[in-house]
A and B are shown apart, each in its own frame.
Chain A
Amino acid sequence: MILILVAVVVSLVSICAGRYDMSIIDVIKILFSKVLPLEKTWDSTMENVVFRLRLPRILAAFMVGSALAISGATYQGMFKNPLVSPDLLGVSSGACVGAALAILAHLGTIGIQIGAFLGGVLAVTITITMPKLIKNNSSIMLVLAGVIVGGFMSSIMGLLKYVADPETELAEIVYWTLGSLAKVDKGSIAAVAPAIIIAGAVLMAMRWKLNILSLGENEARTLGTNVNLTRGIAIVCSTVLTACSVCLSGTIGWVGLVVPHLGRMLVGPDNTKMLPVTLLLGGAFMVFVDTLARTLTGAELPLSILTGLIGAPFYFWLLVKQRMNIQ
């Protein structure tokens, strides 16, 4: 409950902050004017800024943050390893390659988004096919396959950067891989929102089963759980979540790793409580970071720079607090 309040407050403050300053009262009035008959005490520029610029962007930031956070939490539970992030199976590196290819082919913003999504999904598909080829379905094999695919994609990425025109294309690739929500508009949000909401809802619905998966494959099986099916659904949902958020914002590090830790510290490892908390925290954190990104300096700061600058020391702080519990 408190967290919902925090998320709402962060979002409201975020709407107010920016090049065009507004008071919280005005913002709240503008928001409610859509549903309540309120006297108009603001000018239409303000209304435009709220509905056209800031609200979509905050929505996007919240979606991206919570999507990354719950897919990170899912992976950490599933692979019995709190050091795992949503990139584990290669989704981010694949998305980078897809986006870079689209940039080199000059396909425009929508092309880059589609390229990133396809690249991410393709990379994970290759990763989960590998253990099937070797006929070994253990999660270790899956993780190793992820390492192989991730490394391979990084090399392709290096090659693409090497051949890119350093003046224009390379700059765009680098900027994209650092993540930004500056180019988000209502159209792209509407395009990915259904997928994010469905995948997120499925993970939320099966979150108790994630507890069982975290016991390990054999124990889960003796508790009557079809491990391959359950893990498969969780991987598909997490991949969709990450790929969709990468579509919107480019790659953003740290959120999927750090936020689940914070959630676990607040309410414990039980996913029935931890996953909703992680969702809210991830969303609020991303809105906060994105607000900093657009207000700290005159130019937009890439998001990964900020998530790294905040996330890394924060992670250290979490480790200090938890040091008794980590072997």
Chain B
Amino acid sequence: MMLEVKDISYAYDNERTIFSNIEFTLNKGEILTILGPNGSGKTTLLNCLANIFVPSSGEILIKGVPFAELSLRQVAQMIGYVPQIHIPVYGFNVRDFVVMGRAPYMGMFAKPKKSDYDLVDDALEMMEITHLADRPYTEISGGEMQQVTIARAIVQQPDMILLDEPTAHLDYGNQLRTVKMIKKLAQEGYAVIMTTHMPDHAVLLEGKVGILDRSGHMRVGPTSETLKEDVLREVYRVELKLVYIDEVGRIACVASGIDV
């Protein structure tokens, strides 16, 4: 088993509980889409899985070993993290930015070598963004930044990739291209976990879905069984329908008409 999450909870200052009793497993090549309303703790949960936060209770095992027994570097060699798009202060070249994914393999006083840059070039090629290699990271579009940061995670040579709302700030086309890219990552063998606000993305990705509700519990299971109208209605507090659309051959989540 790639990832085992055993009954974890998280509370800020041991007072305000964000979520509790979260439990699931994920295998190589599987996708978990985490849904939940604003403030339900999706990002906090993802940060725990990324080893940024330590859960208040419970434990997380990667390849059978608890996080607590691993160094930051060891975890970073197994888990790549793609944060939400943000514009950094310094405009590193895309290549110099992506090569930072090699950090988990390098000591305090090391610099990236040619072999590291070779991996960078491979990752850029895989993401089909070789043309961006020498552009400053601050001067490319949001969708391109997303691809570049995924390339950085690939260069980490992890077993699992986590993405925090990879479709936020992207236009409709780029959102769907990102979803497609995530499916491709799973086919390459990575275990993938992402958070999103769009139930449709869970449908498109066809893997597992985790729905965090307002009380901090998460229902996890195969999307086809777990993504249900009543659950979504309760979680998002809006009228919606899951309908099968013949023309596209899949289920879609659509909101009812809005009465003001």
Contact = CB atoms under 8 A, between A and B. Distances in A.
Do A and B associate with each other?
Answer: yes
B111 A224 contact: no
Interface in B98-112: 100-101, 103-104, 106, 108-112
Nearest to B96: A270
A77 B90 contact: yes
A125 interface: no
B92 interface: yes
A81 B88 CA distance: 10
Interface in B49-97: 50-52, 71-77, 79-81, 83, 87-93, 96
A218 B136 CA distance: 22
B156 interface: yes
B174 interface: no
Given A208-B110, A325-B138, A223 B92 contact: no
A327 B89 CA distance: 9
Contact of B103 (A218, A223, A268, A270): A223
Contacts of B130: none
Contact of A224 (B72, B91, B136): B72
Contact of A230 (B87, B90, B101, B108): B108
Contact of B50 (A81, A212, A222, A327): A222
Contacts of A212: 100, 103
Contacts of A216: 88
A268 B79 contact: no
B83 A218 contact: yes
A214 B88 contact: yes
Contacts of B136: 268
A82 B83 contact: no
Nearest to B139: A325
Nearest to B82: A222
Interface string B106-150: 101111100000000000000000000000101000000000000
A294 to B, nearest CB: 37
A115 B4 CA distance: 57
Interface string B136-179: 10100000000000000000100000000000000000000000
Contacts of A215: 88, 100
A80 interface: yes
A102 B136 CA distance: 49
A206 B108 contact: yes
Interface string A69-113: 000000001001110000000000000000000000000000000
A186 interface: no
Contacts of B104: 223-224
B25 interface: no
Given A206-B109, A226-B72, A270-B93, A211 B52 contact: no
Interface in A206-244: 206-209, 211-212, 214-216, 218-219, 221-226, 230, 233
Contacts of A264: 90
B47 interface: yes
Contacts of B112: 208
Given A219-B83, A224-B75, A82 B100 contact: no
Contacts of B52: 218, 221-222
Contact of A208 (B74, B75, B89, B111): B111
B103 A269 contact: no
7 contacts: A80-B88, A206-B109, A209-B109, A218-B83, A222-B79, A226-B72, A268-B93
Given A223-B101, A224-B75, 15 more contacts: A80-B88, A82-B89, A205-B108, A212-B100, A221-B72, A222-B50, A222-B51, A222-B76, A222-B80, A223-B103, A224-B73, A233-B108, A268-B93, A269-B92, A270-B93
